[in-house]
């Protein structure tokens, strides 16, 4: 307990899955947590559950695909709490394992706009505040799809972009006291892996990628297992780690 005492943490996609688990864990570790996502009712639910356990939580609804809404989330957080010490870029959507030849422009654009450009927008909004404070920790959530290209075409490309962005920002800001790292989850029991999503996924592409990476949908990792990895990189315990990616997939490439 207390690993994030007196920290202000902003978490995107904090209303479900890995983002929700991270928000609850951060609050237990002493952080004041601000969560953002599109579904306000779910944001309220998560905040209520955190407060019921004695944590401090607030929410600002926002769509990371919309620059004005991203800027509002950052501005409201700073207006209320004075700073942002930690940013976790967790929000994202899947592309149903669509191979390039089956990928529509609409799906590709939505995935890239959310999973990559959304991260860029949020970093762009938060970094000036961290720079002014002379410190900060950003944890971007990529995927094994970004590391091993074992997902759909647009998702793999977007998540690989997140890895490159992480290293680029680490280079830019390390001398200003800001660390930027990433976590790449493997198969995790979240809404992104619900039965409806798996049913809509391209089966041939799943079979192809499974030859190169171990998928175990019967024994997936829990959101909290991912949250603990995020906590470590966000905390001062990882003060010497910058520009790195931590793959959390239970050894799927061993």
Residues with catalytic roles:
155
Q: Which residue has the tokens 């905040």?
A: 47
Closest alpha carbon to 10 in 41, 43, 48, 49:
43
What are the backbone dihedrals phi and psi of residue 183, each rounded to the nearest 5 degrees, phi first? -120, 135
| Cβ-count burial 224-237 (b if 16+ within 10 Å, e if not) | bbbbebbbbbbbee
Identify the bridge partners of residue 35 per DSSP, sorted by sequence position. 11, 59
Closest alpha carbon to 57 in 110, 4, 96, 94:
4
Q: Other CB atoms closer than 10 Å to residue 21's CB: what's the count?
A: 24
Measure the CA angle with vertex 179, ends 148 and 165; round to 5°: 40
d(C-alpha 40, C-alpha 136), whole Å? 27
Q: Other CB atoms closer than 10 Å to residue 122's CB: what's the count?
A: 25
What are the backbone dihedrals phi and psi of residue 179, each rounded to the nearest 5 degrees, phi first? -100, 140
Length of the chain (residues): 254
Identify the bridge partners of residue 33 per DSSP, sorted by sequence position. 9, 57
């Amino acid at each position: 307990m207390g690993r994030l005492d007196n920290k202000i943490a902003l978490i995107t996609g904090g209303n479900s899955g890995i983002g929700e688990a991270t928000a609850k864990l951060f609050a237990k570790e002493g952080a004041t947590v601000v969560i953002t996502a599109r579904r306000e009712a779910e944001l309220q639910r998560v905040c209520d559950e955190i407060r019921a356990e004695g944590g401090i939580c607030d929410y600002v609804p926002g769509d990371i695909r919309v620059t004005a809404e991203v800027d509002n989330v950052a501005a409201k957080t700073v207006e209320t709490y004075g700073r942002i010490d930690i940013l976790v870029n967790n929000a994202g959507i899947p592309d149903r394992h669509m191979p390039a030849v089956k990928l529509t422009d609409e799906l590709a654009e939505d995935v890239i706009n959310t999973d990559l450009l959304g991260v860029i927008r949020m970093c762009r909004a938060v970094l000036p505040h961290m720079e002014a404070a002379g410190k900060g920790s950003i944890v971007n959530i990529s995927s094994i799809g970004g590391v091993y290209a074992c997902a759909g075409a647009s998702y793999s490309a977007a998540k690989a972009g997140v890895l490159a962005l992480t290293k680029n920002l680490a280079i830019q800001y390390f001398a200003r006291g800001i660390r930027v790292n990433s976590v790449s989850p493997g198969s995790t029991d979240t809404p992104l892996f619900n039965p409806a999503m798996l049913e809509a996924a391209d089966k041939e592409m799943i079979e192809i990628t499974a030859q190169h990476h171990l998928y175990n949908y019967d024994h997936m990792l829990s959101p909290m297992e991912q949250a603990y990895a995020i906590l470590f990189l966000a905390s001062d315990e990882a003060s010497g780690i910058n520009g790195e990616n931590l793959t959390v997939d239970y050894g799927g490439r061993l």
